[in-house]
A and B are shown apart, each in its own frame.
Chain A
Amino acid sequence: MNSLGQSIIELLLLGFLLTAVVGLVASWIVRKVSAKVQYRVGPPFMQPFYDVIKLLGKEQTIPEEANGFVFCLAPLVALSSVILLSTMLLRIALQKEGYFAGDVIVVLYLLAMPSLALILGASASASPHASIGSAREMKLLISYELPLLLAFTIVLIKASGQIEQSQLLSLAALSGLKPIMSISGCLAFLVSILCIQAKLGLVPFDVAEAETELAGGVIIEYSGPLLAMWTLEHAMLLVALPVFVVELFLGGFDSIILGIIKYVVVVVLLILIKNTNPRMRIDQIMKFFWYYCSPILIIALVLAVVGNFLGIGWL
């Protein structure tokens, strides 16, 4: 167990500074590639940094009807949970020994915290647009949660044949495996990409913000420094979520260079999906995740169980 001071330093350097910088760079990549796809020039490299700094300097407005406390606390809670989440994930990427705060179930639950904070913050802002946005964000969460949990269970099943049961819930141990090298793991990986696409609120799953119909939806009433927090948190999720997928399915960061390549591949996949699809309606999204993705993964899960039972690794 590390000393407390060391942990705090890790939290601030890895979880906050590194993640924020990489996240803002990643969000630049997203914008630049999207621009290229649409035959535009795209923003300069520093643009995401300028955006955050500019927002920090702007005036803060709070709606009169809002529950000010929840409204202001929500982005901070989201930020702090992403900081903890990315510390846990990046420590594993850097091959550090031992647990930090919790196991992989804790990671799964932490993944839901930013969405929860966003929903509560939106509800607190007392705007009808934001209320619709928060309803959609919540429905989005329960839609992708089912396939995501199925995918996670597939990883556990694959792992249970390969590592000690006492290591089963350690993400560090799980990241040493490559479930992608099997049919069930591959399906789980593909669906998980869609799930994190939805978690990030990228097109085609951007119903909660939906600028053209809800005028920003969940974040409509946010401005200035608090909006900067949301922007920063969103950028940091662009690091945490793909890293989580890399560690869960793709064998993690066995070497740093290879790990970064895997991460970039996942991000590029996300960008491509973002730029080749129109926004879906919320009921279409629910049907998509529950009626299409989930049955596929249930089949994959059965394959994984059978494969484990018969000792066939590639199933």
Chain B
Amino acid sequence: MSNELLPIIVFAPIVLGFITLFLPRALRYFTAPLTLLVTALVFLGAVGIFQDKTLSYSVPIFNIQEISFDLLLRNTSLSSFMILFAAGFTSLIAIYSVKSSMDNKAANIFYGAIMLTAGGSIGVLLADHLLVLLFFWEIVTVALYLMITTGQEKSNFAATKTFAMLGASDGALLLGILFTYKICGTFQMSHIAITENEPLAIAAFLLMAVAALTKAGAFPLHTWLPTSGQYSNAAVMAILPASIDKLLGIYLLVVLVLPQKGLFAMVAWDLRLVLAIIGAATVLIAVMIAMVQHNIKKLFAYHAISQVGYMVLGIATMNPIGLAGGLFHMLNHSIYKSCLFLCGGAVEESTGTAELEQLGGLGKKMPLTFMACFIAAMSISGVLPFNGFASKWLVYQGIIQMGKDTTTTAAILWPLWLVTAMFASALTLASFVKILHSVFLSRMPDALRETKEVSAFKFVPMMILAALCVIFGILYTLPLKIFIYPALGFKGDLQVLGFWDSSFATLMLMIGLCVGAVIIAAVSIGKKARKVPTWTCGEIQPNDSMIIPGTAFYKTVSSLEGLKQLYSWQEKEVFDPYTQAGKSGSGLTNMLKWLHNGILPIYMNWVTIGLLVLLFILCEIW
């Protein structure tokens, strides 16, 4: 594999995507296949990159005094597997959305943004120069902004909010990078290892961690995710916020904190408590909000936040098991969450709505979507033997192992992290039961009788992702050995605390299933099950009045004393930094407006006061 592959795989999609953005809509019959082709080639290239982990490429661009800005790309075992999956998700979602985006007014913007995402995300993962990383990081943000604008009406608001929040965090990243340069005198990531625990280093670490956590969508900087989830296309959510943004955010976090190898390994070690608190708060708060949502995509978006908490908790343990668990959970989450968003999109396309109240009983009309959604929902809830369980199980063990050390606060509080993480898993199950009930099970409203299954373009990507959930669950040691352990630099097998033989357990569950099936079959030979109408206490009821929608499921929780007030504050966006920043911003402008009232004498007064102050300062009268 030649080293030239690296710049080609990064810049070819970016250039093509950039050109595509400006092409007229009539050319969409040309750009759609182009998108498929480019993403497929990028995936092939990613496979090549995964196989050869020694690639590197550097080209000097310019020098200003000592500051050299070189295009440094290098392949590591941590980035290579993420590149593989980023490229895989991009091409799957390109297949999923290529047909339905044809009718979109901004079809070419969508296609262009997909290619930008492919190139930009791989660029972030390959970059060895902090400013190069920032450049690609920004391209991904812009691509997300562009993609969200192609959504429904009001998507502009969502896109702006997303861009504002991610842009602000990118600003933090820039500042963090500059601080890092101040400390180390270099931008080259492989040469940076900050060991001094000085205030500037802590500030740099926190700023860069803010960027990583905002990208991944951790509490409290998560609020762009639900808003964009509600108004943008499901495919957009599946490609960026659900999968690639998680990969990038967690990648940056791991690059910062990885013990011994990370940029800020020593600093991060002392700040484990901060990370653990963010992780635990994210897990619990987001899932509590998710439970009471009424819109499929918004509910999924809150879960995309909640699951980040497991990854951050896993990383916060900073022991091998926890790190492996956090990274594995990131991989698993990308798989099942993009599958879920794709299912949500399929349901929305077939029925025309994503509101839970108007759905129901679709399991019979859309069996393939149901199956994919069911598998992904079970995976995210950590039901055995799917993949979500395996990674959560590792994270729990990481937390338990952290408890061995009794000197730091983060370690002493391990029961808190453990209970929060495990309890949130039950709450996740609760909200996915709600989804399965109100979308696919329960009764079908009369309005949906004519619903049809989506086309093969849509269900094939969903099935592939669902199959990955099953494979990564039953044979969970396989992805761990191929992707995760090499990425973290572990030699050989990892010594875990517990024991989980997933394939054996699956076999045993299957045998148990057969026991029941054999008994049923034996007693029902020659008998046929009779179809009966639903028991309605003898009354005759119209179909629609017999539907109990899942939206009513957790009213008990949201009206529980103590939680009621929190939920109502949350509804009013009291905890949303974007809304709060907007409010304080408008407060500031109002004050300025009040000062600038256009009356000359008042301006004169201000000028006089200003001059007096200046005079005092200049003459040092105090």
Distance in angstroms from B597 CB to nearest chain A CB is: 53
Q: Is residue A21 within 8 Å, beta carbon to beta carbon, of the partner chain?
A: no
| Residue in contact with B383 in the complex, picked from A113, A141, A215, A286, CB distance below 8 Å | A113
**Residue among A15, A77, A153 facing the most chain B CB atoms (10 A cut-off):** A153
B433 adjacent to A11 (CB under 8 Å): no
B520 adjacent to A16 (CB under 8 Å): no
From B563, which residue of chain A is reached at the shortest CB distance? A290
B442 adjacent to A123 (CB under 8 Å): yes
Q: Is residue B601 within 8 Å, beta carbon to beta carbon, of the partner chain?
A: no
From B522, which residue of chain A is reached at the shortest CB distance? A56
Q: How far is the CA of A69 from the CA of B364 in the complex (A)?
A: 9
Q: How far is the CA of A16 from the CA of B515 in the complex (A)?
A: 9
Which of B63-71, B180-188, B498-506 participates in binding chain A?
Answer: B498-506
B442 adjacent to A135 (CB under 8 Å): no
Q: Is residue B486 within 8 Å, beta carbon to beta carbon, of the partner chain?
A: no
Residues in chain B near residue A126, CB distance under 8 A: 361, 441-443, 534
Residues in chain B near residue A120, CB distance under 8 A: 433, 436, 441
Distance in angstroms from B317 CB to nearest chain A CB is: 14
Residues in chain B near residue A170, CB distance under 8 A: 498-499
| Residue in contact with B524 in the complex, picked from A60, A166, A286, CB distance below 8 Å | A60
From A110, which residue of chain B is reached at the shortest CB distance? B384
Q: How far is the CA of A25 from the CA of B532 in the complex (A)?
A: 34
From B513, which residue of chain A is reached at the shortest CB distance? A80
| Residue in contact with A67 in the complex, picked from B364, B404, B497, B509, CB distance below 8 Å | B364
Residues in chain A near residue B531, CB distance under 8 A: 61-64
Distance in angstroms from B514 CB to nearest chain A CB is: 8
Q: Is residue A292 within 8 Å, beta carbon to beta carbon, of the partner chain?
A: no
| Residue in contact with B361 in the complex, picked from A7, A65, A127, CB distance below 8 Å | A65
Q: Is residue A237 within 8 Å, beta carbon to beta carbon, of the partner chain?
A: no
Residues in chain B near residue A105, CB distance under 8 A: 393, 396-397, 498, 500
Q: Is residue B619 within 8 Å, beta carbon to beta carbon, of the partner chain?
A: no
Evaluate whether A149 and B419 lie within 8 angstroms (CB atoms) in the complex, with A84-B509, A131-B437, A282-B556 already known: yes
Interface residues of A in 61-108 (CB under 8 A from B): 61-65, 67, 69-70, 75-77, 79-84, 87, 99, 101-106, 108
Q: Is residue A27 within 8 Å, beta carbon to beta carbon, of the partner chain?
A: no
Q: Is residue A128 within 8 Å, beta carbon to beta carbon, of the partner chain?
A: yes
Distance in angstroms from B557 CB to nearest chain A CB is: 7
From A144, which residue of chain B is reached at the shortest CB distance? B426
Residues in chain B near residue A67, CB distance under 8 A: 361, 363-364, 440-441
Residues in chain B near residue A65, CB distance under 8 A: 361, 443-444, 534, 543
A129 adjacent to B535 (CB under 8 Å): yes
Evaluate whether A142 and B516 lie within 8 angstroms (CB atoms) in the complex, with A67-B363, A109-B389, A286-B557 already known: no
A59 adjacent to B383 (CB under 8 Å): no
Q: How far is the CA of A57 from the CA of B536 in the complex (A)?
A: 25
| Residue in contact with A101 in the complex, picked from B504, B543, B556, CB distance below 8 Å | B504
Interface residues of B in 422-438 (CB under 8 A from A): 422-423, 426-427, 429-430, 433-434, 436-437
B553 adjacent to A138 (CB under 8 Å): yes
A153 adjacent to B418 (CB under 8 Å): yes
Number of interface residues of B (CB under 8 A): 79
| Residue in contact with A83 in the complex, picked from B419, B440, B444, B515, CB distance below 8 Å | B515
Q: Is residue B554 within 8 Å, beta carbon to beta carbon, of the partner chain?
A: yes
Q: How far is the CA of A287 from the CA of B498 in the complex (A)?
A: 34
Evaluate whether A131 and B442 lie within 8 angstroms (CB atoms) in the complex, with A60-B524, A60-B527 already known: yes
Please encode chain B, from 547 to 573, with 1 for each CB lying within 8 Å of some chain A CB and 0 for all others.
Answer: 110101110110111100000000000
B553 adjacent to A11 (CB under 8 Å): no
B535 adjacent to A123 (CB under 8 Å): no
Residues in chain B near residue A84, CB distance under 8 A: 505, 508-509, 512
Distance in angstroms from B400 CB to nearest chain A CB is: 6
A76 adjacent to B516 (CB under 8 Å): yes
Please encode chain A, from 110 to 135, with 1 for each CB lying within 8 Å of some chain B CB and 0 for all others.
Answer: 10110010011001111111011011
B516 adjacent to A229 (CB under 8 Å): yes
Distance in angstroms from B233 CB to nearest chain A CB is: 28
Distance in angstroms from B386 CB to nearest chain A CB is: 11
Residues in chain A near residue B554, CB distance under 8 A: 139
From B510, which residue of chain A is reached at the shortest CB distance? A80
A309 adjacent to B406 (CB under 8 Å): yes
Q: Is residue A218 within 8 Å, beta carbon to beta carbon, of the partner chain?
A: no
A135 adjacent to B361 (CB under 8 Å): no
From B528, which residue of chain A is reached at the shortest CB distance? A60
Residues in chain B near residue A59, CB distance under 8 A: 527, 529-530
B361 adjacent to A225 (CB under 8 Å): no
Distance in angstroms from B572 CB to nearest chain A CB is: 24
Q: Is residue B511 within 8 Å, beta carbon to beta carbon, of the partner chain?
A: yes
Evaluate whether A70 and B393 lie within 8 angstroms (CB atoms) in the complex, with A101-B504, A169-B497 already known: no
Evaluate whether A128 and B547 lie within 8 angstroms (CB atoms) in the complex, with A56-B523, A65-B443, A105-B396 already known: yes
Q: How far is the CA of A16 from the CA of B557 in the complex (A)?
A: 37
Q: How far is the CA of A197 from the CA of B423 in the complex (A)?
A: 19
Interface residues of B in 281-334 (CB under 8 A from A): none
Residues in chain A near residue B363, CB distance under 8 A: 67, 69-70, 124
Residues in chain B near residue A156, CB distance under 8 A: 400, 415, 418
A106 adjacent to B505 (CB under 8 Å): yes
Residues in chain A near residue B501, CB distance under 8 A: 99, 101-102
Please encode chain A, from 256 to 282, with 1 for each CB lying within 8 Å of some chain B CB and 0 for all others.
Answer: 000000000000000000000000001
Distance in angstroms from B145 CB to nearest chain A CB is: 37
B516 adjacent to A75 (CB under 8 Å): yes
From B371, which residue of chain A is reached at the shortest CB distance? A69
Residues in chain B near residue A11, CB distance under 8 A: 508, 511-512
Evaluate whether A153 and B415 lie within 8 angstroms (CB atoms) in the complex, with A80-B516, A169-B497 already known: yes
Q: How far is the CA of A226 from the CA of B524 in the complex (A)?
A: 11
Residues in chain A near residue B403, CB distance under 8 A: 160
Distance in angstroms from A227 CB to nearest chain B CB is: 11
Q: Is residue A8 within 8 Å, beta carbon to beta carbon, of the partner chain?
A: yes
Q: Is residue A221 within 8 Å, beta carbon to beta carbon, of the partner chain?
A: yes
Q: Is residue A220 within 8 Å, beta carbon to beta carbon, of the partner chain?
A: yes
Q: Is residue A238 within 8 Å, beta carbon to beta carbon, of the partner chain?
A: no
Residues in chain B near residue A62, CB distance under 8 A: 529-532
**Residue among A57, A125, A135, A165 facing the most chain B CB atoms (10 A cut-off):** A135
From A282, which residue of chain B is reached at the shortest CB distance? B556
**Residue among B434, B440, B533, B556 facing the most chain A CB atoms (10 A cut-off):** B556
Residues in chain A near residue B427, CB distance under 8 A: 142
B441 adjacent to A61 (CB under 8 Å): no
Evaluate whether A149 and B509 lie within 8 angstroms (CB atoms) in the complex, with A59-B527, A80-B516, A123-B437 already known: no
A109 adjacent to B516 (CB under 8 Å): no
Residues in chain B near residue A83, CB distance under 8 A: 508, 512, 515
Evaluate whether A60 and B382 lie within 8 angstroms (CB atoms) in the complex, with A83-B515, A226-B520 already known: no
Please encode chain A, from 142 to 167, with 1 for each CB lying within 8 Å of some chain B CB and 0 for all others.
Answer: 10011001100100110010000110
Residues in chain A near residue B418, CB distance under 8 A: 149, 153, 156
Residues in chain A near residue B406, CB distance under 8 A: 309
Q: Is residue A198 within 8 Å, beta carbon to beta carbon, of the partner chain?
A: no
Q: Is residue B517 within 8 Å, beta carbon to beta carbon, of the partner chain?
A: yes
Residues in chain A near residue B505, CB distance under 8 A: 84, 101-102, 106
Interface residues of A in 220-243 (CB under 8 A from B): 220-221, 225-226, 229
**Residue among B508, B519, B554 facing the most chain A CB atoms (10 A cut-off):** B508
Q: Is residue B412 within 8 Å, beta carbon to beta carbon, of the partner chain?
A: yes
Distance in angstroms from B481 CB to nearest chain A CB is: 19
Distance in angstroms from A155 CB to nearest chain B CB is: 11
A135 adjacent to B534 (CB under 8 Å): no
Q: Is residue B546 within 8 Å, beta carbon to beta carbon, of the partner chain?
A: yes
Distance in angstroms from B389 CB to nearest chain A CB is: 6
Known: A79-B512, A123-B442. 7 other contacts (CB 8 A): A67-B440, A99-B499, A109-B382, A126-B443, A128-B547, A141-B430, A221-B535
Can you list 15 residue pairs at the A/B interface with Cβ under 8 Å? A15-B512, A63-B532, A63-B534, A64-B534, A67-B441, A87-B508, A105-B397, A105-B500, A126-B361, A126-B442, A127-B546, A131-B437, A139-B557, A141-B426, A169-B397
6 closest A-B pairs by beta carbon, nearest first, are: A80-B512, A103-B498, A131-B548, A169-B498, A123-B441, A76-B516
